């Protein structure tokens, strides 16, 4: 087993780290508190090719895989700039369109996703469905050659920044789409919806998270779309397209969590190595301070190994194995990031709660990382069922 990155991936890691450090956590927090977006960082990352590393070269991308995009997510987070839309636009939307979209859809959307001039966000979560996509109530029905979408979505990231939203809806077999069709006869389908489409509205959700990327409730009120808004050549593409985006989502969320954990531990280690209180010794010389940081560092490194495994399996086309590893990576990184930030705050004492030292500003985000995009409990259900052979519990 080879744990070494390729020379190109090493160069990518170094270059992205350098870019992130030029902006840093102060920039990230200032944008968030001003209600602004990290537009300058996003645009520069796009110009440098970092947003499209996983997109094929024929569409303007770097021709790499999710391993490469995970590097970008992790290194920006490790400099204090965890950009959630990296997960949503390049990881989910670009993967879905590249793997299951039509050639026209690839030509229309992938170049803009690669250079950052276009963002496509993802809408699957609904108020009453929770983690069960079988209970989605957003419906699509045929009306002549058009599709008409109706429903609600929640916790949709970055709608105010995007030109399109990739909406997961359900359609009745035979594409009739009647609202009273039996639930078991409905199948998922994905639609590329312009955010300025008539009938599409949204409202911002106020969140206790310091982030320049906002969350929204989304309302689809008879949104009329042309036939080519459906992802793929037919409704048969719906289920494979949906699952195509889930493993990259989990892997890149995990990478962002691992990077955030690295950032917090680095800040705390710098502080504890120089802060002297008792008899001239640094506080880091006391095991009560250094051991918790060392423990958190171990957890982050273990999560990074699982992220690397999951990304490698995914890029090799081993989707079933990648699914197990991607879920484990997301679980491990979510736990490790939350531990790292909390431990860093504790090590810094009162300074850890200040904006200046830049760790408490991440508490909300890493706590959310244990819930979304899939909760730790659902991952444990998955592992119990698929690895331990236990009866399905839900």
Residues 247-251: what's their mean pLDDT?
98
Task: Quick: pLDDT tens for 34-91.
Answer: 999 999 999 999 999 999 999 999 999 999 999 999 999 999 999 999 999 999 999 9
> Above 70 in pLDDT, residue 4?
yes
pLDDT of residue 185: 64
Whole-model pTM: value is: 0.95
Least confident of 113-127, 151-165, 175-189: 175-189
SS (H, E, C) the chain: CCCCCCHHHHHHHHHHHHHHHHHHHHHHHHHHHCCCCCHHHHHHHHHCCCCCCCCCHHHCCCCCCHHHHHHHHHHHHHCCCCCCHHHHHHHHHHHHHHHHCCHHHHHHHHHHHHHCCCCEEEECCCCCCCCCHHHCCCEEEEECCEEEEEEEEEEEECHHHCCEEEEEEEEEHHHCCCCCCCHHHEEEEEEEEECCCCCEEEEEECCCCCCCCCEEEEEEEEEEECHHHECCCCHHHHHHHHHHHHHHHHHHHHHHHHHHHHHHHHHHHHHHCCCEEECCEEHHHCHHHHHHHHHHHHHHHHHHHHHHHHHHHHHCCCHHHHHHHHHHHHHHHHHHHHHHHHHHHHHHHHHHHCCCCCCHHHHHHHHHCCCCCCCHHHHHHHHHHHCCCCCCCC
Least confident of 132-141, 176-185, 197-206, 302-311: 176-185
């Amino acid at each position: 087993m080879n744990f070494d990155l390729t020379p190109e991936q090493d160069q990518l890691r170094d270059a992205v780290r350098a870019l992130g450090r030029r902006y840093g956590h102060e920039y990230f927090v200032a944008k968030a508190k001003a209600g602004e977006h990290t537009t300058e960082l996003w645009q520069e990352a796009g110009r440098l090719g970092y947003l499209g590393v996983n997109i094929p070269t024929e569409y303007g991308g770097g021709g790499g895989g999710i391993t490469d995009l995970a590097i970008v997510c992790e290194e920006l987070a490790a400099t204090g700039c965890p950009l959630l839309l990296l997960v949503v636009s390049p990881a989910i939307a670009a993967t879905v369109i590249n793997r299951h979209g039509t050639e026209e859809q690839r030509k229309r959307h992938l170049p803009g996703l690669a250079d950052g001039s276009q963002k496509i966000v993802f809408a699957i979560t609904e108020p009453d469905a929770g983690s069960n996509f079988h209970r989605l109530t957003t419906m699509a029905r045929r009306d002549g050659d058009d599709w008409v979408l109706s429903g609600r979505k929640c916790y949709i990231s970055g709608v105010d920044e995007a030109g399109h939203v990739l909406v997961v809806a359900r359609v009745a077999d035979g594409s009739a789409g009647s609202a009273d069709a039996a639930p078991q006869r409905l199948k998922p389908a994905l639609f590329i919806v312009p955010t300025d489409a008539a009938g599409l509205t949204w409202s911002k959700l106020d969140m206790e998270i310091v982030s320049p990327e906002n969350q929204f409730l989304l309302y689809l009120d008879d949104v009329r779309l042309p036939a080519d808004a459906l992802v793929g050549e037919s409704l048969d593409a719906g289920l494979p397209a949906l699952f195509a985006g889930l493993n990259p989502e989990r892997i890149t969320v995990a990478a962002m969590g691992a990077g955030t954990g690295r950032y917090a531990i680095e800040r705390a280690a710098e502080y504890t190595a120089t802060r002297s209180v008792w008899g001239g010794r640094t506080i880091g010389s006391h095991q009560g301070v250094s051991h918790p940081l060392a423990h958190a560092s171990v957890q982050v490194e273990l999560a990074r190994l699982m992220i690397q495994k999951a990304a490698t399996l995914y890029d090799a086309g081993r989707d079933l194995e990648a699914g197990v590893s991607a879920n484990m990576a997301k679980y491990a990184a979510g736990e490790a990031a939350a531990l790292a930030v909390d431990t860093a705050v504790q090590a810094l004492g009162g300074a850890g709660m200040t904006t200046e030292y830049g760790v408490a500003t991440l508490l909300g985000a890493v706590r959310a990382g244990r819930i979304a995009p899939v909760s730790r409990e659902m991952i444990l259900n998955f592992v119990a069922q698929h690895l331990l052979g236990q009866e399905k519990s839900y």
